[in-house]
Structure 1
Amino acid sequence: MVPEQRVKNIVLKGIGVSPGVVIGKAYLFDRRDSQISFYKLGKASLVTKEVKRFRDALRASEAQLREVKRRLSEVAGLEPLHIMDVHIMLLKDRSLVRNVVQRIKEMSVNAEWAVSMTIDKYRELFEKMEDEYLRDRFSDIRYVGQMILRHLAGRRQETISSLGERVIVIASDLSPADTAQMMIDKVLGFATHIGSKTSHTAIVARSIAIPAVVGLEKVTRLVRTNDDIIIDGAAGLVIVNPDPEILHRYEEKKRLYQAAREVSLKYAKFPAVTKDRYKIQIGCNIEFIEEISSAITHGAEGIGLYRTEFIYINREELPTEEDHFINYRRGIGIEGLQWSTIRTFDLGGDKYFSDPKLAKEMNPQMGLRAIRFCLQEVNLFKVQLRAILRASAFGKTRILFPMISGIEEIRAAKRILSEVRDDLRMEGKAVGEDIEIGAMIEVPSAVVIAESLAKEVDFFSIGTNDLIQYVLAIDRINDRVSYLYEPLHPAVLKLIKEVVDVGHRAGIHVAMCGEMAGDPLYAMILLALELDELSMNPLAIPKVKEIIRSATLRDSKKLLKEVMKMSSATEIRELVEKTMREKFPAAFAVNGS
């Protein structure tokens, strides 16, 4: 029999979510469910037995997750175990369990069908959500549903840890639990059909430095186990069965990338000081406490942005003060980090999908969210502030209020914070001294009134992700207009310059914590704007620091002067790209930026 010929040089373009170049054999990790059976239960006694079968599957799923968590906790260097806790919590979610049991009883159907229907309902609900972060949380619910179905069918979940050789994992989707298990030496990288830069999968992949590309629509159809695969995580490319010429080219690129990474990590903890002695602080953006170790390794000097939304997600009940405190305490006063900036709740009421009291908003991104939501739900806000203030006793703490659009909001937030501080002191609880209060500058109105805001706070933190979106009136996740999202748009640069200038005139610290801060392409521009701090994804820190140490403030200011004369974003980008490639050829040749 003639062996089937494999198609050569298939190039797939997706979203690079974790940098690096890997070359290896594919392993198709197929977690798709077989067709869900459907049958009616004739007798009441069968309904009771079916409910018990469902609950047995829940217990078996939880036991398996706890065993995976125990095994992973024994692997040196593996830290993202909170993901297991999320899935265990979902297995106990009263709303999910109640919906499945209700369907079994009221419709007299088998447990598999009831589970499948319930998960489908959640999928419909999550797909309607405007917020990308929230939409991505459905992956956890889908994973838990698949695990329950497998236990109902008497099959344990396939685990990546059982692989016998080093491979590149190909999948329709990889749950956070799957990616956590990739810490073992057998996995080189992964490529998936589903995913985004904000999904748990992407966050965990970056935190444990596994090259990864997501959003590859045809990857599970075109790739088979044992195919030769190249992943370029920086460029977002996957090449299937490359010919010798392409393979040789990427082997060289891999060598250059690894050499550059080794050099970057070697000097990662050195300060970001230009050749003419201008120093800028470098912080990290984190979502999970478990990312801190990686951040320190990659050269973070402090936590520039700790997103606290994860504490609220996938819960039937609101987190307690102690839930908050335990998380914040682990992120404050860490050896090797000089400060910790904790951003208060930055989502809207629409996140509580199990709470019917909170109305669904047509446009939650511009609705009741962030500081607006907190000022309406003061008791919820106070719980978080109490925990932050208690944790602040253990190290230098900054509190950052998001989506400030008016002076009344910052004053109201400060007033509530003062009340909470007084309450804690009356209770005899320790509170940190010299806590700094900051306003996130991400709404155009905040730029306009920056002079007034500067009198109310100790620092600004520019959130470029939303600021650019609002200034240019575009939706970043809408493919039809996302091309208009341009950090180098002259309007964006002028607004950033205005915020920095106003902040410095008022004598306050000005930071930037959006994606723009971590892109090496913009390093000289941000230097020239004289920001005091850049906060970014930990993996971006070594490269940005390296460029800053190789640059001068004088040359950066010359570039900015030319840029500010231009009226076209296209012209600005061309000049900046040309300048950066000329000044840092090795960095940008390896990055592919």
Structure 2
Amino acid sequence: MNDNLLKQPQRYVLAGTDIAGGPSVAGILVSGVSGPEGFSKEKKFTSTTSGAEEEKYSIETEIALLGDEVRSMAEILNREGFESESKILDTHVLMLEDEGIKSRLMHRIEEYGESAEEAVVCVFGEMKDRLLESDNALIRERSADVEDLMQRLKSRLSGIEQIRELPVPVRNASLVLVFPELFVSNVVEARNAGVAAIIVESGTGFSHAAIMAKAFGIPVLRVNGIEKLYEAMGAIVVVDVENGRLVIHADEDDISSAALASATATDEAYIDSPLNIWLNLVDTDSHPPESLHGDTIAGIGLFRSESLLTERLSGFPSEEEQYAVYLQLCRRWKRYPVTIRMFDIGGDKTVPYFSLGPQDNPFLGLRAHRLYRFHPELFMNQVRAILRAGIECSDLRILFPMIETVEELKYLQELLASAMEEMKQQGTAYRHDVKQGVLIEVPSAVWILKDLLERLDFISVGTNDLLQYHFAVDRGNINVSNYYQPEHPSALRMLKYIADAASESGKQITLCGEIAADPYLVPVLYGMGFRDLSVDFHAVNSVRLSVPEGSSDGLENIAARCVSASSIEEVHAILDESGGSDRLKPLDHSNRGTGFIDPVCGMVVHRQENLYSFTTDRETYFFCSPECLEQFSRKPERYIR
């Protein structure tokens, strides 16, 4: 008996740092890196040692295959409601398709006789180094994306790709994966495999990978010296992110406590909340009503109908094709209110079979309802299909996006009335009592909101575009994305005005966009008067938990203080003082991409058609201006790592 006790592994605890929060979980420790601990096997590729042409062919082939793989992942995430997360993968695809990067890879092979693998390590390594040299913390974080792609390409080109293959005894058990660094591809694979938690040695909560892990609900803990963990592979561990602990060789008490914490978190996800949570959908197949717990949601707050357009290769869908989709939607969500947004194409949503004409700035060009002035038949076909299908649901709501004036609203309402009269004359069955709403996304609509409300049944606030236009900031431009500040007092005052106007009119108001799913800001939104939030499926539980029943006392006062604040720093101080920092740090609402960086000023610049460049024996550098180029050329070693 004593001998057996002596042979039992000893329990010990390592301190860690929260990267992506979540409840305590127990699982089996498994390495996520290559090697025997990773439970991996070899997957052979074509040899790349037969000359420059074969090296170039190999690199082109593997880049294309990896691009297709990442693109497929992005499409799956987008269909499942992870729109922001899918855009992270889109930036990876853009890097793989970048002609400048491909040219540099070919140059390394041709001029230096390097293998495809060596060229990838050199070119992507230099890109990573440049990002790490930036003074901008967000740009430095993007170096992990470059490293991720480099490692995946290197693995494929070396002739061996690691394919995680778990041994039979642990297939049905919870797993805890260990990685030296957290990469986007790791998180996506972990989600697909149902991994309980991830342990890493480096990374922060603002990296793309951490953002994805938070969205997927995968706890991530950073622990120093993970080499110690490789001796414990296969051990039962408890990951306690909230208290920053990793328990190795966990005992029964540890496991029971973790199970209780996890069960409590699950139960709390469905506790009563004064918030009314509406669901955003991009298709009719994902997240059926039976996957929800009781009355978790109030209804469908936003069905993004343009998904019918973006998945097609040619031609707008006919009325009958649209009717079939809307009918499935309304039947599936029969007992819920269903809100269908009219087509919102333009901006960053284009279709390959229709030209929007010359647009130097697509977000200020031909978009959404403006298209109907040229092609009213597109509106008529869609609204007829919606009205016919709407008979099948309890409450049909049509949402007009991007309305900027009362005149434009009147025009659309006239088209709607015309479609209804036409169907009446034809004897076509349709929904007569459809509710009409506007998506408030343009600042001009805010200042005529009371006039709009007189003609509407409800409104929805599209904060992504509204705040982007409010700050005159393109969130996709990394040089200015830090100016996109949803918690800035000027933004909060505008939102408060909208909430008050809706309340005075007695009209229902819903808020959607990234900040609707930000637990750091949701209590403030509630305090300002927003009781209805429309979010993607994965955010439903965390949003409900951000304002549980009985916790709303004092939120109006906190919101009033934030609205009256004179700076964003003051808002942060108010929220931290009120416990906001205990709930969650502000979400990263900044740009998701990367680019070529001017080594002098740190600005992201274009490579194509850039007149200001400097070529060394290692690489070509690009600049924003002749001044930065001249400063670099005088002393390159000062800026080259």
Q: Which TM-score band applies after superposition, normalised by the shorter structure?
A: 0.5 to 0.7
2:282 to 272, 277, 287: 287
Shift of 1:504: 2.8
Which amino acid in structure 2 is aligned with residue 314 of structure 1?
E
**Superposed CA offset, 1:497-527 (max 9, x none):** 2212222333322221122223333344223
User: Hey, what does 2:476 align to over in structure 1?
Assistant: 477
Distance 1:351 1:380 in 2: 16
Matching residue's letter, 2:520: L
Task: State the secondary structure of the residue aligned to 1:412.
Answer: helix
CA displacement at 1:571 relative to structure 2: 0.5
Q: Which amino acid aligns with 1:392?
A: G
| Bigger CA radius of gyration | 2
Return the offset for 1:12.
10
Say if 2:515 and 2:521, in contact at 8 Å, map to a contact too: yes
Between Structure 1 and Structure 2, how many residues are aligned?
A: 467
1:3-18 to structure 2, matched below 5 A, reads: none
* Offset at residue 427 of structure 1 (A): 3.5
1:312 aligns with 2:319: no
Q: 1:316 to 1:523 in 2, by over 3 A?
A: closer
Distance 1:178 1:398, change over 3 A: farther
1:265 to 265, 269, 273: 269
Higher mean C-alpha displacement, 331-340 vs 389-398: 331-340
**In 1: Cα distance, 2:563 partner to 2:188 partner:** 47
CA distance in 2, matches of 1:224, 1:172: 19
Instruction: Give deviations 1:25-55, integer Å, cap 9, x for gaps.
Output: 456599999569999xxxxxxxxxxxxxxxx
1:370-429 C-alpha deviation (Å, 9 max, x unpaired)? 222344343333332222112211121111111111222212222222222233333433
Hey, what does 1:468 align to over in structure 2? 467
Please point out which of 211, 214, 221 is paired with 2:218: 211
**Among 302, 323, 326, which residue is 1:325 paired with?**
323
Matched ranges for 1:418-429 at <5 A: 418-429=417-428
Correspondence for 2:380: 382
Label 1:188 to 1:562 Cα distance change in 2 as closer, same or farther (>3 A): closer
Provide the rounded CA distance (Å) in 2 between the counterparts of 1:331 and 1:287.
11
- Cα deviation for residue 299 of structure 1 reads 0.9
Question: Which residue is equivalent to 2:449?
Answer: 450
> Are 2:526 and 1:527 equivalent residues in the alignment?
yes
For the residues of structure 2 that align with 1:427 and 1:346, how far apart are their CA atoms?
Answer: 29
Q: How does the TM-score come out when normalised to structure 2?
A: 0.56
| Deviation of 1:473 (Å) | 2.3
One-letter code aligned to 2:550: S
Q: CA deviation at 1:264?
A: 1.7
The alignment partner of 1:332 has SS state of helix
TM superposition shift of 1:204: 12
Structure 1 equivalent of residue 430 of structure 2: 431
Distance in 2 of aligned mates of 1:234 and 1:371: 47
SS of alignment partner, residue 487 of structure 2: coil
AA matched with 2:576: E
The 3-state SS of whatever aligns with 1:549 is coil
Distance in 2 separating the partners of 1:10 and 1:316: 52
What one-letter code is carried by the residue in structure 2 that aligns with 1:533? Answer: D
Partners of 2:302 and 2:418 in 1: CA distance: 24
Shift of 1:578: 1.7
Structure 2: which 5+ residue stretches go unaligned?
1-12, 35-41, 51-67, 84-151, 223-228, 587-641
Check the 8 A contact 2:238/2:247 in 1, yes or no.
no
- 1: CA distance, partners of 2:329 / 2:377: 24
Q: Which amino acid aligns with 2:269?
A: L
Shift of 1:450: 1.0
Deviates more, 1:381-390 or 1:491-500: 381-390
Q: TM-score, normalised by structure 1?
A: 0.60
Q: 1:520 to 1:453 in 2, by over 3 A?
A: same
> Aligned AA for 1:291?
H
> Is 1:21–1:211's contact at 8 Å kept on the other side of the alignment?
no
Give 3-state SS (helix, strand or coil) of 2:404's partner.
Answer: coil
- What SS is found at the alignment partner of 2:300? strand
- The answer as to whether partners of 1:298 and 1:538 remain within 8 angstroms in 2 is no
Letter of the aligned partner of 2:567 in structure 1? S
Does 1:507 pair with 2:503?
Answer: no
| Percent of matched pairs sharing the same residue | 25
SS at match of 2:578: helix
Contact 2:516 2:533 in 1 (8 A): yes
Is contact 1:460-1:510 (8 Å) kept?
yes
Distance 1:286 1:344, change over 3 A: same
Give 3-state SS (helix, strand or coil) of 1:520's partner. coil
Gaps of 5+ in 1: 1-7, 40-60, 70-78, 84-145, 217-222, 274-279, 582-587
CA shift at 1:454, angstroms? 1.3
The CA distance in 1 between the partners of 2:306 and 2:186, in whole Å, is 19
| Aligned: 1:348 with 2:315 | no
**Does the C-alpha gap of structure 1 residues 177 and 323 become closer, same or farther in structure 2, counting only changes over 3 Å?**
farther
8 Å contact from structure 2 (residues 270, 544) kept in 1: no
Which residue of 2 is the match for residue 577 of structure 1? 576
1:159, distance to aligned residue in structure 2 (A): 9.6
Q: Give secondary structure in 2 for the equivalent of 1:330.
A: helix
Between stretches 512-521 and 447-456, larger displacement belongs to 512-521
Q: Identify which range, 517-526 or 168-177, moves more after superposition.
A: 168-177
Q: 1:424 to 1:503 in 2, by over 3 A?
A: same
Please provide the CA RMSD for this pair: 5.8
Give SS of 1:331's match: helix
Residue number in structure 1 paired with 2:589: none
Instruction: Give the CA deviation at 1:441.
Output: 0.8
Contact map agreement 2:308 2:317 (CA 8 A) in 1: no
Q: Which amino acid aligns with 1:301?
A: A
Which residue in the other structure is 1:399 paired with?
398
Q: What's the offset of the Cα at 1:552?
A: 3.9
Give SS of 2:310's match: coil
Return the letter of the residue paired with 1:541: V
Match of 2:491 in 1: 492
The one-letter code sitting in structure 2 at the alignment partner of 1:262 is T
Whether contact under 8 Å (1:160, 1:178) holds in the other structure is no
Superposition deviation, residue 233 in structure 1:
9.9
Contact 2:347 2:365 in 1 (8 A): no
